């Protein structure tokens, strides 16, 4: 005759699973935020004082090793579209693919749905204006269906065709943009002062996330706890001879 394990055994399984879950190392999601500054006076120091922060770039490392780039500008500025706008990137290589290239009116997550395009991916572009050479350029960015100014919120995913990016890659990124001032956002900007501006030093944030192994251990703990409760309540216990 088979004897069911004692309730104490189930309790031990549950406790062990929960202890292992707590001890399991978490998987960390890494994000880097870069400030867009006018350190090179590309928009004219008379209009924008040097070192003024005029926007941010958020770099998020995705689970598969790609990076989602989200660019947000102050409402006083805009990307220059469709004439001559470029997005320049250092630190992420040149053998890349660009996807999910969209804009948003508000910058709120989930609203980047207006598709953007670019004429070519260029390499080793000399931006000038004291910013130097950038390894990768999304050349002549355009709004495909609804050309608009101001264009303040842009997002795209960049994938390294040579292998996944790491958290260290994010910390080496620098970017530059062709922007214009936007004195009248409600009436289409009419930007008269333009220039290339770059990013300053970034800040890194790491958010702990439970790894798949830890979640599996946690599941074992919950299973043991459930069986233990069923035994204590006398529900569904079968002893076969």
Is this prediction's pTM over 0.85? Answer: no
Q: How many CB atoms lie within 10 A of CB 219?
A: 12
pLDDT beyond 60 at 182: yes
User: Which of 83-87, 88-92, 226-230 is modeled with the greatest confidence?
Assistant: 88-92
* CA–CA dist 123, 134 (Å, integer): 7
Q: Say if residues 36 and 210 touch (Cβ distance below 8 Å).
A: no
Residue 72: is it exposed, middle or buried by C-beta count within 10 angstroms (0-12/13-18/19+)?
Answer: middle
Sign of the four-CA dihedral 180, 181, 185, 190: negative
The tens digit of pLDDT for each residue in 6-63 reads 554 545 444 444 454 444 444 455 899 999 998 877 787 777 888 889 999 999 999 9
What pLDDT score was predicted for residue 237? 38
Residue closest to 87 by CA, chosen among 188, 158, 167: 158
Place of tokens 């439970």: 210
The tens digit of pLDDT for each residue in 147-174 reads 667 889 999 999 999 999 999 999 899 9
Place of tokens 């990124």: 173
Which residues, other chains included, contact 179 with Cβ-Cβ below 8 Å and sequence gap of 6+? 42, 43, 54, 73, 77, 78, 79, 80, 194, 195, 196, 197
């Amino acid at each position: 005759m088979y004897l069911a394990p004692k309730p104490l055994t189930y309790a031990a399984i549950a406790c062990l699973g929960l202890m292992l879950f707590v001890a399991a190392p978490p998987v960390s999601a890494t994000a880097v935020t870069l400030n867009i500054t006018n350190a090179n006076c590309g928009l004219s120091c008379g209009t924008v004082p040097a070192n003024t922060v005029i926007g941010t770039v958020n770099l998020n490392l995705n689970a598969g090793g790609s990076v989602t780039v989200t660019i947000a500008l102050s409402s006083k500025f805009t990307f220059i579209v469709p004439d001559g706008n470029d997005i320049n990137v250092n630190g992420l290589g040149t053998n890349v693919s660009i996807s999910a290239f969209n804009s948003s009116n508000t910058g709120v997550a989930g609203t980047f749905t207006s598709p953007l395009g670019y004429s070519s991916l260029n390499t080793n572009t000399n931006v000038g204006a004291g910013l130097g050479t950038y390894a990768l350029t999304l050349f002549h960015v355009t709004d495909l269906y609804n050309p608009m100014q101001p264009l303040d919120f842009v997002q795209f995913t960049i994938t390294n065709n040579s292998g996944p990016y790491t958290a260290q890659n994010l910390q080496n990124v620098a970017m530059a943009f062709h922007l214009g001032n936007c004195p009248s956002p409600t009436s289409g900007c009419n930007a008269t002062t333009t220039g290339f501006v770059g990013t300053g030093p970034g800040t890194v944030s790491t958010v702990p996330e439970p790894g798949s192994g830890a979640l599996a251990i946690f599941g074992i703990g919950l299973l043991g706890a459930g069986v233990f409760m069923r035994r204590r309540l006398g529900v569904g216990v079968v002893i076969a001879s």
